[in-house]
Structure 1
């Protein structure tokens, strides 16, 4: 697994809105509903969300856990600015999951949806989660399975390989789908002093209204944008990718299966 570069975690101010509008329902909402329901079954008086992004999971947590005190964080100010206006209620803060500033034992539950893949030092970050958890508290997170198990994103990467054959972008394979090894995940969590209570592979279906929406979302609303800009003009690639995805996935409503590993780790009493 290759670690990400600085560009892999960078966001322009315009990107969160595109990311949320184009990819929220298609990719992230189904797993957000899953993780929010799992949170409901756990002690959750004080909740910390890491890598909250545009607040898709945050909104689910607010609905599922109306009495919880929620602190939602992201590394990127652009994300926090957008998400805090989208989902008021939680305390929103810019925070680095690698360097948590919170006091020992501050939270009963830490949640992170599709963020751990971006962490340069996962074991170190998991140790930080362990520190801020109360004894018996839970760390609930998920990570994508391999690129091939995500029908839409596999189609995006295949299409871009045809459009930019000399040096095809590989962000999606390299980073979001680069931690798709349950044995590695388990080992990292245990190395941080947490107990793996559950590690489950979950397969869900994402839905997008059109290939155009997906092409815009991936090209303009994710760090894939920076890889494309190094190789081609965004204005040229978006319509070409739209046509390529329509050939692969259909023209109209698109449904695609996608799989992830969902993990619940606990801090010893």
Structure 2
């Protein structure tokens, strides 16, 4: 038998705009490379805050500016050159947060502290 280490994790699936969790029920919200794709980012952040316990944390990552990601920028440029000027629209949308302060400002605006 394998000894139990760490803490148990319960994985849930649902919309980021209406998390299937009671208020104040979650210790940690992990959002990895998703925020930039949500149709209402402010709503998603409010949902993260809603489900957190008072001492809860959000772990969040987004792509940096496409200009700081040479491979992604080269790919997007190649799409536009080969397939037309709007072919890279979705790829470029992944990099909507060109400045880390934009993410912090959004989190603070929606009530998260200590960003």
Classify the TM-score, shorter chain.
Answer: 0.7 to 0.9
For normalisation by structure 1, the TM-score amounts to 0.38
The change in CA–CA distance for 1:167 and 1:142 in structure 2 (over 3 A counts) is closer
| 1:166 Cα offset (Å) | 5.2
Which residue number corresponds to residue 101 of structure 2? Answer: 183
For normalisation by structure 2, the TM-score amounts to 0.84
In structure 2, distance between residues paired with 1:131 and 1:189: 13
Q: Deviations over 1:196-235 (max 9, x none)?
A: 33xxxxxxxxxxxxxxxxxxxxxxxxxxxxxxxxxxxxxx
8 Å CA contact retained: 1:143, 1:180: no
Where in structure 2 are the equivalents of 1:83-94 lying within 5 Å? Answer: 93-94=12-13
In structure 2, distance between residues paired with 1:166 and 1:67: 49
In structure 2, distance between residues paired with 1:167 and 1:99: 31
The change in CA–CA distance for 1:168 and 1:101 in structure 2 (over 3 A counts) is closer
Which residue number corresponds to residue 192 of structure 1? Answer: 110
Q: Deviations over 1:11-61 (max 9, x none)?
A: xxxxxxxxxxxxxxxxxxxxxxxxxxxxxxxxxxxxxxxxxxxxxxxxxxx
Whether 1:161 and 2:100 are equivalent positions in the alignment is: no
Which residue number corresponds to residue 105 of structure 1? Answer: 24
Which runs of no fewer than 5 residues in structure 2 stay unpaired?
A: none
Q: Which moved more, 1:93-102 or 1:159-168?
A: 159-168
| 1:148 Cα offset (Å) | 1.4
Which runs of no fewer than 5 residues in structure 1 stay unpaired?
A: 1-65, 73-92, 198-269
| 1:157 Cα offset (Å) | 1.0
Which residue number corresponds to residue 10 of structure 2? Answer: 71
In structure 2, distance between residues paired with 1:111 and 1:167: 32
Comparing both structures, which one devotes a greater share of its residues to strand?
1
Aligned with 1:70: secondary structure?
coil
8 Å CA contact retained: 2:65, 2:98: yes
Comparing both structures, which one devotes a greater share of its residues to helix?
1
| 1:71 Cα offset (Å) | 3.2
